[in-house]
Every structure is written in structure tokens, then in C-alpha cells.
Structure 1
């Protein structure tokens, strides 16, 4: 069932591509409807799989392990625990949002577009499920190609530059991870006599600290690029700015979370001592990312570029929490990952909605939209409040727990990191005021029913997780201990 869900997305993408605009039984098939139906059906299948399973997901539970490439002892192995289940549910939810925001925006090569979109989500689901490290790397690469195509084909004016930059950054860092994966398999052969790429076999290895530090860096760099963290962050603002709306939602909402997931699952668990020794450097990079991202966000005039830099700042809190080796901070990291996925997706969706009306991302071309579009303004205010961590919304819980937990380990660093909260309030209010307040630059149409559904679902999710964070905390507790 888990295999069918993962590859069902890829097959659904192929179906949407080849069946787009074909007539069946007198009905004209459309890729967007086929994609939406596929995602809804597969998400329901996944929820039923988890709900009906009698497995205890506080630990990794194996769902499939069969030989794949026998000569190298590479297996097709999928497993789930509470961490991966949480992120897969977020992925399915944002997949629906991506399809809805693309409903009218994508007018050319629609079949091929939805194929790439669903193929990217298939790769992401594989990343969250794979426990054979070669299979994990395979799915990691599956994410890369269709996402590059989405930026390059359906992006804005500098899309080719942004797509190539995204590809190079991700590919080079992925090759470092591949070297580390092969080295780990070789070490397993030295210690046991057999090659193995199986994650839980690697947990049993006894690796010398000086070797573990280099191997850990191979994984860390790949995941830090995806997170992204300063100084390997520069691909993100360009990719976000030039990508279509769904591409930005996908990048910020889910793709960045694969980097955080990799840090937790592989860096911390496979190399605990090396990670602890590296923690001061990682935390320093996290604090720099928080402050730098907030400062650069404040300096932007481009709506999407501002939100992109804010993502660098918010994901800095995740790295800070992960490398604090503190239970409260770990829980804060999980909540922040989900909350940022929702709030950044909301802001990018709003950016796309505005762009369709005024055909500009420049804040100087906006202003006074509240008068002609009050519903849009209300959602804009709520999403800006979520971005700067208003109590009652999910971001506040995640960042508060991250700082409280990290303060017990790195008090001085956390004091500086807290400046990022002040910076986020400044750039979020600047974004809102320049867009919705002041003298109206032009009259814009208010939200349609489809757009209200998109914004409402994201806002309701942020409120529910902000008021009832135990929905996430009770699951993240077991997964991170």
C-alpha cells in the first residue's frame, strides 16, 4: 500500500500528462482535475493506512524490504514513524494547495506541468519513507529534476538562471552525500563482511570519531543546502522569485523540510558524537541565518523575494533547535517545520493571487488593496501575523519551544537569535502595510471562492495548531528520543 501511494503519484502524473485534453465517453479530461482527484484519493489511502495499522510509530516501522540491486546488497526498503507521518501529511495537504493555486495560472503545457508537480511530490514522499540509503538518494534526485523543470519552463523572466542555479547547488551537495553514503556502506563491509545501505544496519556501526566527523559533514552540507542555511542559501531567493506560485509553495512548504528531516534522521542519529562536537558551529550558522534572513527580508521590494529571505530566517530556528540536543527544542523544531510550511505557503499563495491581478511582484506597485479587496487584506494580515509569531498561531509555539529548549544549552546564542523575532515583526508589517495600506494604487478584484478556500484552509490549520499544539507534540515526542 505504501509503495502504491508513493508511485501512485508518479503514475497519476503520467496519466494527467497523456490524458490532458483527451475526450473519454464524451467528457473532456483535464490534467488539473485528474491531479486533484489523484492527490485526494492517495492522501485518504495514506491516512487509512496509518489509522488502520496496529504498528507503534514511536519507532521506525518497516513496511517493505525486498532486494533491489543484489550485487551491492541494495534493498527497496520503506518505513514510517511519527516524524515521517507528520511530514507526509503536510506534503499531501500542500499538494492540494499547489494544484489549486495552479488552477488558472498555468495555461501552457498543462499536462506536462502537472506531471512534474506530482513527480516532485512522489520524490518527496520517497525521501520521507526510504530507509535504504541508496533508495533515499534515488528519491532525493527524483525531487530535483521535475522541480528544476517547473522553474525553468513555467517560471518568470529569469527562470533559466534560477533553475540552473538551483540544480547546481543541489546536485553538487548531493554528490557529497553520495560519497558519504558509499563510504558508510564500505565501513559496514569492513566491520561485518557485507555491504549494506540499510539505515538501521548503519545505526549499529562503531565508527571512529575522526572518520565520523568527515562523513557527518557530507550529509550535513547536502541537508544544509536544502534547508537552506547561510552560506549555502543563495539559490533560494532566486528560485522562489522566478518559480510559478505552486513552485514557490512547494519549495518553501515541503522541499526545505526534506533538509531538516535529513538533519534529524541521518546526521543526528547516525553520528551523535560528531554532531554534538559540531553543534557550536551549526548553531552559529543557524543564528547567522536567523538574523541575516530577517535583515535581508526587510531590504526587499519584491514580495516573493521578501518571503524567500524570511524562510531562511525561520529555518534557522529549526537548525538551532536540532543541534541543541534538547527535548523541548526538538519538539519546537517539529512544530516550526509544520508551521513554516503552512505560513510560507500561505504568503506565496497570496503573492501569486496578487500577481495575477497587478502583474507585478514589486511592493512599490502595490498599496491600498484593502479598500477594494478587504477579504484579501484580512487574510494578508493574518498570514503576516503568523510569519512574525503572533501568539495563538502555530509559528509562535514552534519558535517559543525552540528558543526555550536551546536557551538551556546555548543561552548567549539564543539571545542573539531572539533578535530575529523582532526582525520578523518588522518585515512582516512592512510587507502588509506596503501591500494593503496607504493610498490605493489601483482597484483589485477580491478573492474568488477558490482563493478563499485556499487561504481559509491554511489559516484554519495555523490556528488549530497554534491553539492545540499537542496534536503535533504528542507525536514528535517519541520520534525524536
Structure 2
């Protein structure tokens, strides 16, 4: 497919969710109402997100896989000439996987919601917010102008806030408020850094800035820019100790909100570090890289220890909260790979980004299903009173939970293994000028974190799937995996296996693009 055709495909991918969001607020034509307006708008959400997914697959199929470092499907139009802001769009081997992942997860969430709409107001606003969230996330991975990146980055905050506050569970309003305050404060600081780069370099074009590789930015400018932009992105990543909004948001969010928050929104922070900070201000990044690596490994261990405490019998831990803390640890590996400033580490970070989206998206779907059946996500109640021995009560559901857990702990042959391993390999041999003894220490701490990860995930599987000792007893059968759940979860499980067995499928896209971003190193 030629580049002109891909331009139209990419433009349609970005515009269609926004038009769909407007359409969701309009009355459905009489012939499309089905059993009622609620069903019509939910079907509208499935149709629009399905069309976006098809277009994303078409874009991936038409992408020139022989030249993944080159920006493709590009559009570059003057938008605000006085401020040198361009409507610049394009995808390369770094952004394409995240764009397809976003389209896939949003479609699966819309499909799941068609059959299992979260409790709350009528679904018209829900579908509109879901589509607006998809549009903003897709734009974040496709825009190539710093100001447009900031606008897209901000667009996703409002719909996620309302998804949590209107359709969430207990303490949803406080959790939603904490989410929006943390991320907005981070974004304000990030905007200052983006403006500093644009003013000093004379352009906001991300491709031109990456090609320049920071040569027209003084070292002090790079330091200030990296600190400001990095803080804003670290909140979204989420990096310890700026992560504290995440467990509350996940615990309160509806199932599809948790899937999208973990599966794609967290990726915007780490994507920004790779797309903006690494190539545009490499000098400043080099200075702060050891500190980023240190915070990353603290996050790995901290997240794992928090999960171990939640998984312990008698502590009343919430399973959704446990998976949220696990995301802090897993995203720590992504940050460690980026902080290595090597091709191996950055490729590992990008691979771990996609793997985390697939695996954690599946886990949040499964926890939502458990909560629907048991009426709780409290681990003690799931593992004890009425929830012992899931293997015996709902074997397919129990098997999928075990699959998601072993994938998350990094079992070889599944997607979770490659990203974390490559991130640690990259940290073991860091970029030129970085202290190897320090990074070897970071690698050892991260490796210890993988053992803690295995400990808490296997503990969760034992307790839920086999039951706590002394409490397990014969229980009536439980509804096993339903048809719509099978349809929503199978693609994630299949892609987890595919990425684990064929990592070159993803690494072949990212490696040339990473080499280009790192200045050909």
C-alpha cells in the first residue's frame, strides 16, 4: 500500500473515534434501536471500535516492514503558523504496535461492555467517553508535534476521570479526583519542558528535533527540559514514588476502565520518554539516567513487596489493588530498560510495554469476572468462605487466571519473559559513560524483584484456584467462562503466546527505529 493511502487510513483511525463519540450522544435511528436505545448505543460502540481495529490492522499490513525506522503514513500541515505548530502525523516501528494494541483493547472493552455494562448511569455517556478515550490515546501515539502530543496526552484524562467517578466502585469519587490531580499537575510541569525545547530549538516538530539529537540545545536547557518532561511522564508511567494514585484508581475503576488504564494509558508515559526525551535531549537524559534506573528498581521491589503483603492470608487484600501494585513493578522494568540508554534495553522496554498491556489487560478482565460472580475482589473472601478451589468450580476460569499469572511473572515462552529479560540485559551493559557497577547493582535488584513477583503471583493462584488450607470445602459449581468473555479474552491470551514464541515479530519493528532514535548507536 502506498504512503498516500496509509495517510488516509491513519487519519481515519484518529478521526473515527471522535466522530463516534459525537454519534453516541445523538438519538439512534428507529431501525437501529434493537431492544432499546441502550442496546443501540452499546452496539454503536462495538461497531466504531471494531472499524478502528480493522483500520489499524490495515495500517499494520500496509506498513513497510523493511524500513520501520522511517516515519510512514505521514501528514504535515500548518496548523498555527505563528506558533510554528504543525498537524504532523505518522507512525514508525515504535508507535505502530502501541497503536494496534490500543485499538484492540478498546474494541475488546466495548465488546465486553455490550454484554456486561458496568453499573451506573445509562450507557450513552459511557460509550462516548470510551471513544473519546480511544481517540486521545491513539493520537498520543501518532502525533509528531510536541504541542499536539501534549493536547492528546491531556485529552485522555477527562474521559478516564468520568469513567472512574461515574461507573466505578467504592470510593470512586475520591480515587478519580486523586487520579486527575496527580496527572494534571504532572502535565503542567511537562508542558513547561516542552515549551522550553520548542522555544530554544525554534521548532516543535518531533522528527526534526530527534534528527538534530539535541545539538542545538545547551546542556542546561536539556537538563531542565528532561527534569520537567520526565516528571510529567513519570506520573503517568507510573514511577515510584509518584505512583500512589494508581492503586486507588484501579481499585475503584470499572473493569474496562482498569483494562484501558493499565493496558494503554500507562504506556503513554514510557512512550513519551522514548519518543521525546531520549532522542531530543540525550545529554540531559544521560545525566538523569542513573537516577531513573534507581527509582525504577525501587519500584520493582516496592511493588512486589506490596503485592506480597496483599496476598498474605488474613490481610484482606484486594485482588484489583494487587494487580495495580504489580503494574508498578512491571513498569519499573520498562523504566530500567529506558534508563540503560542502549538498544537492547530500550527494545526490551518497548517489548515489555506491549506485553504488559496484553497480560495485565487479561488479568483485569479476569478479576472483573471473579467480582461479578462472587460480588467481591477481596482475596480472603475469594480464597476462603465461598471461593475455595476455583479449579473445581470453574476450571476454565481458573486455568485462565493461572495462565495470566505465569505470563505476568515472566515464564519463558510467554510475552512477559522477553521484555524484562532484555531490559535487564541492557542495564547489565549500560550506555557509554554510565557507571557499570551501579547498573550491575540495579540489575541484581531487578532480578531479585522477579523472584518476589513469582512468589506473590503463585500465592494468588494457590489461594484462589486451590483454596486456603483449612477453609477449602465442597462448593456448588460456578458459572465458567461465558461466550462473550471467551471472545474478549482469547485474543489477549493468543497474542501473549505468539509474542512469547515469536519475539522477532515485535523486535523486528522496534530495533531499527530505536537505533535511529539513539543516533545510530
Q: What are the equivalent positions in structure 2 for 1:49-68 lying under 5 Å apart?
A: 49-52=59-62, 56-61=67-72, 63-68=74-79
Which whole-Å CA distance do the structure 1 matches of 2:134 and 2:87 have between them? 19
Q: Could you tell me which residue of structure 1 aligns to residue 498 of structure 2?
A: 464
Q: CA deviation at 1:182?
A: 1.6
Corresponding residue SS for 2:25:
helix
Is residue 165 from structure 1 mapped to residue 178 from structure 2 by the alignment?
Answer: yes
Q: Could you tell me which residue of structure 1 aligns to residue 242 of structure 2?
A: 232
User: Against the structure 1 CA distance between its residues 426 and 67, is the aligned structure 2 distance closer, same or farther, given a 3 Å change threshold?
Assistant: same
Q: What are the equivalent positions in structure 2 for 1:68-87 lying under 5 Å apart?
A: 68-87=79-98
Q: Could you tell me which residue of structure 2 aligns to residue 376 of structure 1?
A: 397
Which whole-Å CA distance do the structure 2 matches of 1:109 and 1:312 have between them? 33
Which whole-Å CA distance do the structure 2 matches of 1:23 and 1:258 have between them? 40
Q: Deviations over 1:253-305 (max 9, x none)?
A: 01011111001011111111111111110100010010001111111210000
Is this contact kept in 1: 2:101–2:264, CA < 8 A? yes
Q: What are the equivalent positions in structure 2 for 1:202-217 lying under 5 Å apart?
A: 202-203=209-210, 204=212, 206-217=216-227
Corresponding residue SS for 1:75:
strand
Q: What are the equivalent positions in structure 2 for 1:74-473 lying under 5 Å apart?
A: 74-103=85-114, 104-107=116-119, 108-189=121-202, 196-203=203-210, 204=212, 206-300=216-310, 301-367=317-383, 368-409=389-430, 410-438=439-467, 439-440=472-473, 443=476, 444-473=478-507
Corresponding residue SS for 2:94:
helix
Which whole-Å CA distance do the structure 2 matches of 1:405 and 1:478 have between them? 16
* Residue 16 (structure 2) aligned to one of 8, 24, 28: 8
Q: Deviations over 1:393-446 (max 9, x none)?
A: 110111111112211232111001111111111111121122221215854211
Q: Spell out structure 1 runs of 4+ moving beyond 6 A.
A: none
Is residue 17 from structure 1 mapped to residue 25 from structure 2 by the alignment?
Answer: yes
Q: CA deviation at 1:185?
A: 2.1
Corresponding residue SS for 2:377:
coil
Which whole-Å CA distance do the structure 2 matches of 1:25 and 1:219 have between them? 46
Is this contact kept in 1: 2:49–2:106, CA < 8 A? yes
Q: Could you tell me which residue of structure 2 aligns to residue 192 of structure 1?
A: none
Stretches of structure 2 lacking an aligned partner (at least 5 in a row): 1-7, 311-316, 384-388, 431-438, 516-521
RMSD: 1.7
Corresponding residue SS for 1:82:
coil
Is this contact kept in 1: 2:347–2:422, CA < 8 A? yes
Q: Could you tell me which residue of structure 1 aligns to residue 50 of structure 2?
A: 40
Q: Which TM-score applies when normalising by structure 1?
A: 0.95
Q: Deviations over 1:60-104 (max 9, x none)?
A: 236212122232122211111111101101111111221133231
Is this contact kept in 2: 1:369–1:440, CA < 8 A? no
Corresponding residue SS for 1:77:
strand
User: Against the structure 1 CA distance between its residues 52 and 62, is the aligned structure 2 distance closer, same or farther, given a 3 Å change threshold?
Assistant: closer
Which whole-Å CA distance do the structure 2 matches of 1:405 and 1:451 have between them? 38
Is this contact kept in 1: 2:71–2:92, CA < 8 A? yes
Which whole-Å CA distance do the structure 2 matches of 1:139 and 1:416 have between them? 35
Q: CA deviation at 1:17?
A: 3.1
Corresponding residue SS for 2:491:
helix
Q: CA deviation at 1:197?
A: 1.9
Corresponding residue SS for 1:180:
helix
Which whole-Å CA distance do the structure 2 matches of 1:235 and 1:101 have between them? 26
Q: Deviations over 1:154-179 (max 9, x none)?
A: 00110001111000111001001111
Q: CA deviation at 1:133?
A: 1.0
Which whole-Å CA distance do the structure 2 matches of 1:476 and 1:51 have between them? 16
Q: CA deviation at 1:221?
A: 0.6
Corresponding residue SS for 1:76:
strand
Q: Could you tell me which residue of structure 2 aligns to residue 478 of structure 1?
A: 512
Which whole-Å CA distance do the structure 2 matches of 1:224 and 1:251 have between them? 15
Which whole-Å CA distance do the structure 1 matches of 2:345 and 2:84 have between them? 37
Which whole-Å CA distance do the structure 1 matches of 2:474 and 2:178 have between them? 35
Is this contact kept in 2: 1:366–1:436, CA < 8 A? no
Is this contact kept in 1: 2:63–2:72, CA < 8 A? no
